[in-house]
C-alpha cells in the first residue's frame, strides 16, 4: 500500500519530468490532498449539487466542502445564466410579455436615480428615497467599494466631532455621533465584502 509520502515523491518526480516539456510544471509541487480539492471543484463546477459532493467526499458539514471548492467568477456567472435559461424554459412562453421601449427606459431611469455619492440606494423600483439622503444611516444604501477611502475620511471627521462634543459636554450630540459611527463601521464592512462579490449583470430582455 502506498503511503502519502511515497505518493508525494511520485508527484514531485512527475512534475520534474513534465517541466522538461512544459514550463508550467517548473517548480510546481502537488500533494495527494490537492487532487481531492481538484476533484471537489470539478464536481461542483460541473453542476453537481454541493450537498451531493459533500456526501461523496465524506463531509458532514457543507462548509467543509465549500472550503475545498475553488469558485471562479466566470463559473458563477455561467451557472447563474444556465439557471435562468432552465427556469425560463419550464415556464409558459406567454408569461414573458414583450417590454416596450418606454417601460425599459423607465426601468433604467430608476437605477440611474438610485445612484448617490457613496454608492447606490437599494430602494424598491419606482419608489422615492424615504430617508432624505441620510446616506450613512440609510439601511438600503449599497456602498460602492471605490468610496472606502472616503468613508475612512468621514470616520476621522466623526471622531473629531465627537472629541469636541465631549469637551463641550454635548451629550445629545455624542449619542448621535456614536450611532452614526456604528452604522458607518457596518457600511465599511459591507463595502469590503461587496468588493469581493461577483457581478452577475442584467438578464437579457426577451424580444
C-alpha cell at 75: 463559473
Q: How many domains does the chain have?
A: 2
pTM equals: 0.40
Domain span at 79: 4-93
Mean pLDDT confidence for 5-30 = 85
- Does residue 111 lie within any of the structural domains? no
Domain boundary among 77, 93, 109: 93
Sequence-distant (6+) residues with CB within 8 A of 29 are 11, 12, 15
The Cα-based distances of 132 to 28, 83, 183, 187 in angstroms read 57, 38, 16, 18
Q: What is the pLDDT of residues 117-140, one digit of tens each?
A: 556 666 676 666 655 445 666 666
Helix (H) or strand (E) holding 203: none
69 in a structural domain: yes
Q: Are residues 175 and 132 in the same domain?
A: yes
Residues 82 and 159 in one domain: no
Name the pairing type of β-strands 115-116 and 119-121: antiparallel
Angle in degrees, 0-180, between the axes of helices 32-45 and 4-19, rounded to the nearest 10: 80
Q: Is residue 189 in some structural domain?
A: yes
Hey, what's the cell of 125? 423600483
Give the rounded percent of residues in the chain with a pLDDT score beyond 90. 0
Cell of 102: 418606454
pLDDT in tens, 49-100: 888 888 888 888 888 888 877 777 777 777 778 888 888 888 777 777 777 8
Q: Are 53 and 67 in contact (CB under 8 A)?
A: no
140 and 187 in a single domain? The answer is yes
**Residue 37 located in a structural domain:** yes
Residue 122 belongs to a domain: yes
Tell me which H or E stretch contains 160: helix 148-168
Same domain, yes or no, for 14 and 88?
yes
124, 168: one domain: yes
- Does 80 fall in a domain? yes
Amino acid at each position: 500500500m502506498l503511503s502519502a509520502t511515497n505518493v508525494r515523491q511520485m508527484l514531485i518526480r512527475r512534475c520534474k519530468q513534465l517541466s522538461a516539456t512544459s514550463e508550467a510544471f517548473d517548480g510546481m509541487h502537488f500533494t495527494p490532498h490537492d487532487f481531492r480539492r481538484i476533484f471537489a471543484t470539478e464536481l461542483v463546477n460541473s453542476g453537481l449539487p454541493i450537498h451531493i459532493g459533500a456526501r461523496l467526499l465524506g463531509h458532514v458539514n457543507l462548509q467543509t466542502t465549500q472550503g475545498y471548492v475553488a469558485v471562479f467568477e466566470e463559473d458563477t456567472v455561467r451557472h447563474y445564466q444556465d439557471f435562468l435559461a432552465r427556469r425560463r424554459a419550464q415556464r409558459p412562453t406567454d408569461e414573458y410579455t414583450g417590454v416596450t421601449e418606454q417601460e425599459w427606459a423607465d426601468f433604467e431611469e430608476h437605477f440611474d436615480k438610485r445612484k448617490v455619492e457613496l454608492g447606490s440606494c437599494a430602494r424598491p423600483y419606482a419608489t422615492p428615497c424615504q430617508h432624505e439622503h441620510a446616506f450613512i444611516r440609510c439601511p438600503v444604501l449599497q456602498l460602492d467599494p471605490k468610496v472606502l477611502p472616503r468613508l475612512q475620511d468621514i470616520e476621522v471627521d466623526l471622531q473629531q466631532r465627537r472629541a469636541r462634543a465631549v469637551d463641550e459636554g454635548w451629550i445629545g450630540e455624542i449619542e448621535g455621533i456614536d450611532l452614526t459611527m456604528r452604522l458607518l463601521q457596518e457600511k465599511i464592512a459591507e463595502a469590503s465584502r461587496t468588493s469581493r462579490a461577483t457581478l452577475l449583470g442584467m438578464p437579457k430582455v426577451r424580444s
